[in-house]
Amino acid sequence: MSSKPLTLPAFEEACEAVNKVTLRTDLLFSDYFSEQTGAKVYLKPENMQRTGAYKIRGAYYKISTMSKEDRDKGIITASAGNHAQGVAYAAKAYGANAIIVMPKTTPLIKVNRTKALGAQVILFGDIYDESCEYALKLAAEKGYTFIHPFDDLTVATGQGTIAMEIIKELPLADIILVPIGGGGLATGVSTLAKLLKPNIQVIGVEPEGAACLTESLKAGKVMTLPIVNTIADGTAVKTPGSKIFPYLQKNLDDVVTVADEELVTAFLDMVENHKMVVENSGLLSVAALRHIDCKDKKVVCVLSGGNMDVITMSSVVQHGLILRNRIFTVSVLLPDKPGELSRVSGVIASEGGNVIRLEHNQFVSINRTAAVELRITLEAFGTEHKEKILAALEKEGYRPNVVQTEI
């Protein structure tokens, strides 16, 4: 008989269960983020967890508490990817069939890995909420046992085992930053953290374009966003869980939101300084460091997952380089006569710029001999170097105009 969910005995049970399948994800001290913030920043690298995310914890604990009869009916869930892999892994461990409904926008790596774990994958809807509706419909029609990815107290209990590990390893932790999609991870972590250490701060972090919990907390009740728009696909949720909402109201000290551009910067920071790939949703906690007062505090950032496909990764890197002025595009007008292109290139080369693309537009002016437009996309070492190149072009009379870089 399992204990009542989200109580200390249940968390202890969950720890015992998930320890059978999880990998150790010991805290990593971050010199880089500590220096940036004036805090002592530690990373909880669940991106290195089995299946590439923390979700295996809740899925495995939930399935371990189910009757054989319920498991034998077949297990169905909806997921943007990480919960899918957790359920697929746990179902396979218990010899149960798993059906996973995923949004059509789910990164390919998550789809393929879920299939590789033996689950049947159905792609339906553009966001998680649409996939969930369809999964519930199939569960009602076929008699499958539905496991909600976040609005389930037993699942949330399994996710909360992260807090047990954090506080055991760092008893003097002051703040835990935890990503929020539907709220299951934040529910488990905040509830157990407060049971073990009532004075610890637990702060949730949402993407600006999918801040469903922020709106719900303001309203004092569960709210549904009309639309979500964020690169953090794992946390692109319109409605937080209604069953777990009271726990979030009680145990979260604050919720902050993070812009997509900050996630892009955080991705580059993580790759360059920690040599780790963390998916956009997993980076919410790191990006939030700039939004909180944590000087001289011990802060733990939960990196919730690392399942990112190569195309998404490439796009994030390109955008990051543009945001850091490592790549930029400049437009100049020049006479349409031989030697002008060479002259412009010479100015850029003299300042150490590296041209990576040229676009020549002869139709920008009625009088072609007076002016044609040349758009130059180039690499620089950063903002200071970019300004030097622009100053050199200005000095030679080209009147450079910085325009949006097309990726």
Say whether domain 56-149 belongs to CATH 3.40.50.1100: yes
> Cα torsion for 299, 292, 307, 266, to the nearest 10°?
-110
Equal CATH topology for 8-54+154-320 and 56-149:
yes
Q: What is the pLDDT, as a whole number, of residue 367?
A: 60
Q: What is the pLDDT, as a whole number, of residue 334?
A: 85
* Domain 326-403 class in CATH: alpha beta
d(CA 301, CA 322): 26
Q: How far is CA 352 from the centre of its chain?
A: 35
Q: What is the pLDDT, as a whole number, of residue 281?
A: 96
Place of tokens 């010479």: 346
pTM: 0.90
Plot region of 296 (φ>0 → left; ψ -120 to 50 → alpha; else → beta): left
Please answer whether residues 317 and 300 qualify as being in contact, where contact means their C-beta atoms are separated by less than 8 angstroms: no
Domain ranges of the chain: 8-54+154-320, 56-149, 326-403
Q: Which long-range contacts (CB under 8 A, 24 or more apart) does 249-254 make?
A: 249/217, 251/187, 251/190, 251/191, 251/193, 251/194, 251/202, 252/186, 252/190, 252/202, 252/203, 252/204, 253/201, 253/202, 253/203, 254/201, 254/203, 254/204, 254/292
* Burial of 354: CB neighbours in 10 Å, binned 0-12, 13-18, 19+: exposed
Q: What is the pLDDT, as a whole number, of residue 368?
A: 57
Tokens coding 172: 């003097």
Q: Which of 41, 36, 34, 131 is CA-nearest to residue 77?
A: 131
pLDDT beneath 70: ranges in the chain: 1, 364-370
CATH code linked to domain 8-54+154-320: 3.40.50.1100
Report the relative pairing of strands 175-179 and 201-207 from DSSP bridges: parallel
124 C-beta neighbours (distance < 10 Å), count: 17
